[in-house]
């Protein structure tokens, strides 16, 4: 993270010598397709599979531009969900099924290098620190004709924070000659390291040092998301 910040600073200082200075202040929000991927879940087959899940984020951002090159930092309150489905059977005879969901409440702080055109199109990339404030697991289904529901706090099963790589692109659409504009873009995120956590049945996935009882061969968990980002931007030149 420190090395990336140093690189971003060098790029900005190189641009500052001959470029116009501008500041963007933004309010933004996003709707995302969100996933928590783990090989131990992927290998379960029909007894445990991924389902589509959705999350959201909102917050503020500040960007400093020297000409077409900039550096931005954001503070976003986010929800990252993961959904699963599973089916039980004995000798190919169905005995039940379930659906489950993990909801992570997080605070995201991306530090992004930005490049923009004169017409407002932009591309952004860089690291993001995510702090997990809570993790909730919910499951419901039926087994041998008997329905069940469960809900539990699984925050202790997850890492307290993780680093992601962020890639985004889009456009700032100016409102005529006003300093105000609309932000419209797409952002993709992929985490590095291991979030740990639980599987689709709420069982611990463990860690490298302490594998879970039901998953003795530990596999890392990655957070993946992609979605649409919109917002308002105010430019000071």
Q: In the prediction, which pLDDT does 176 show?
A: 84
State pLDDT tens for residues 79-126: 999 999 999 888 888 899 999 999 999 999 999 999 999 888 999 999
For 220, counting Cβ atoms within 10 Å of its Cβ (0-12 exposed, 13-18 middle, 19+ buried), the class is middle
State pLDDT tens for residues 165-200: 999 999 999 898 889 999 999 999 999 999 999 999
Work out the mean pLDDT of the chain and round it to a whole number: 91
Residue 66 has pLDDT above 80, yes or no: yes
Residue 20 has pLDDT above 80, yes or no: no
Question: What dihedral angle (degrees, nearest 10) is formed by the CA atoms of 46, 49, 51, 31?
Answer: -170
| Token pair belonging to 227 | 């979605």
User: In 3D, which of 78, 75, 77, 84 has the Cα closest to residue 36?
Assistant: 84
For residue 213, the enclosing domain spans: 2-236
Q: In the prediction, which pLDDT does 141 show?
A: 94
Question: How many structural domains is the chain composed of?
Answer: 1
Average pLDDT rounded to a whole number, residues 151-162 = 97
CATH number, domain at 218?
A: 2.40.160.20
| Token pair belonging to 141 | 């289904």
| Token pair belonging to 166 | 């962020």
């Amino acid at each position: 993270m420190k090395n990336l910040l140093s690189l971003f600073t060098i790029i900005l200082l190189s641009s500052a010598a001959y470029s116009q200075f501008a500041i963007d202040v933004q309010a933004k929000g996003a709707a995302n397709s969100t996933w928590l991927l783990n090989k131990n879940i992927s290998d379960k087959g029909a007894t445990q599979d991924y389902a589509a899940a959705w999350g959201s984020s909102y917050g503020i951002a500040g960007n400093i531009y020297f000409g077409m090159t900039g550096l931005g930092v954001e503070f976003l309150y986010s929800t990252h969900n993961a959904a699963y489905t599973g089916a039980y059977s004995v000798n190919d005879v169905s005995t039940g099924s379930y659906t489950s969901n993990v909801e992570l409440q997080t605070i995201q702080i991306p530090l992004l290098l930005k490049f923009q055109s004169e017409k407002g199109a932009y591309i952004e990339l860089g690291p993001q620190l995510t702090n997990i404030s809570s993790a909730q697991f919910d499951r419901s289904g039926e087994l041998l004709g008997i329905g069940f529901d469960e809900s539990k706090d699984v925050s202790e099963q997850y890492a307290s924070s993780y680093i992601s790589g962020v890639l985004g692109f889009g456009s700032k659409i100016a409102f005529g000659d006003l300093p105000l504009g609309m932000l419209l873009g797409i952002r993709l995120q992929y985490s590095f390291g291991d979030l740990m956590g639980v599987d689709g049945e709420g069982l611990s996935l463990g860690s490298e040092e302490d594998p879970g009882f039901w998953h003795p061969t530990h596999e890392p968990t990655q957070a993946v998301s992609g979605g649409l980002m919109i917002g308002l931007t105010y430019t000071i030149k």
